[in-house]
């Protein structure tokens, strides 16, 4: 199972995410890095394990404000062998094409920023595109038609439970298994709530392709030994 560290960018720095309350996110303080600078935090995460993939949420772009493309460029230049999975709120075909052409990483299309399922359907066959199905509590964030039509999904699916991010509540196994059962031929990744190695083992046993994690890495509850076992 793939373990993928998460970096949340806001105002050019890495912030500590908690329960999807983005207006309350503050620059991260972590024993893994001397500051909240994106390169410093990424270097700290990679000191735990040589992760081949890092997920990056550009929270400013998702909110429709400025973006953190300069920080993404620094990450790509500093760690050229790491593939970045980037959610930057894109919902427009031409903007998505332009972003993919820059070669900064794989594009995560978040359901929460989609008005329709058209962009996801148009890009479903693209190798460098991932769909994030975003939930807040029990409510799907996005057009219902997108959630209901698994045939329109790309090969890789993130199931993001925003209210569990940084909460220590554990992953939403019920929802994850429902998505897995709806599309057994696709790779499903869990995001939100992972507390420790036990949660990683539970996700692996449930057939998840991977898990996106952050707090448990910074808090030391998951380290190199635990990652090696999954």
Domain ranges in the chain are: 2-229
Instruction: Name residue, tokens 């509590």.
Output: 137
Tens digit of each residue's pLDDT (9 = 90 or more) over 82-100: 999 999 999 999 999 999 9
Q: Which residues contact 106 (CB under 8 A, 6 or more apart)?
A: 83, 84, 85, 86, 128, 129, 130
List Cα–Cα distances, 166 to 20, 60, 69, 113, 143, in angstroms.
9, 19, 24, 21, 25
Tens digit of each residue's pLDDT (9 = 90 or more) over 165-203: 766 778 999 999 999 999 999 999 999 889 999 999 999
Instruction: Give pLDDT, residue 65.
Output: 83
Residue 21 pLDDT grade (very low, low, confident, very high; cuts 50, 70, 90): low
Distance CA 149, CA 75 (A): 35
Among 24-28, 59-63, 125-129, 157-161, name the one with the lowest average pLDDT.
24-28
Residue 20 pLDDT > 60, yes or no?
no
Instruction: Give pLDDT, residue 117.
Output: 93
What rounded mean pLDDT belongs to the chain? Answer: 93
End-to-end CA distance of the chain: 6
Instruction: Name residue, tokens 């996005």.
Output: 142
Of the chain, the percentage scoring pLDDT greater than 70 comes to 95
CATH number for the region 2-229 comes to: 3.20.20.70
The pTM (predicted TM-score) of the whole model is 0.94
Tens digit of each residue's pLDDT (9 = 90 or more) over 97-113: 999 999 999 999 999 99
């Amino acid at each position: 199972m793939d373990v993928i560290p998460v970096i949340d960018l806001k105002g050019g720095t890495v912030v500590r995410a908690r329960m999807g309350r983005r207006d309350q996110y503050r620059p991260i303080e972590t024993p893994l890095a001397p500051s909240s600078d994106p390169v410093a935090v990424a270097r700290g995460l990679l000191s735990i394990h040589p992760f081949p993939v890092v997920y990056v949420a550009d929270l400013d772009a998702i909110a429709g404000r400025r973006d953190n493309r300069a920080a993404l460029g620094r990450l790509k230049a500093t760690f050229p062998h790491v593939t970045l999975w980037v959610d930057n709120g894109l919902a427009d075909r031409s903007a998505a094409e332009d972003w993919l052409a820059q070669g900064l990483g794989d594009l995560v299309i978040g359901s929460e920023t989609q008005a329709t399922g058209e962009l996801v359907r148009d890009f479903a066959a693209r190798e460098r595109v991932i769909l994030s199905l975003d939930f807040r509590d029990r409510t799907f964030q996005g057009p219902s038609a997108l959630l209901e039509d698994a045939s329109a999904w790309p090969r890789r699916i993130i199931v993001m439970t925003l209210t569990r991010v940084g909460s220590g509540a554990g992953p939403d196994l019920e929802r994850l298994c429902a998505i897995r059962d709806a599309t057994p031929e696709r790779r499903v990744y869990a995001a939100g709530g992972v507390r420790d190695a036990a949660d990683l083992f539970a996700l692996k046993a449930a057939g998840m392709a991977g898990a996106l994690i952050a707090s448990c890495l910074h808090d030391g509850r998951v380290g190199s030994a635990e990652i090696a076992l999954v």
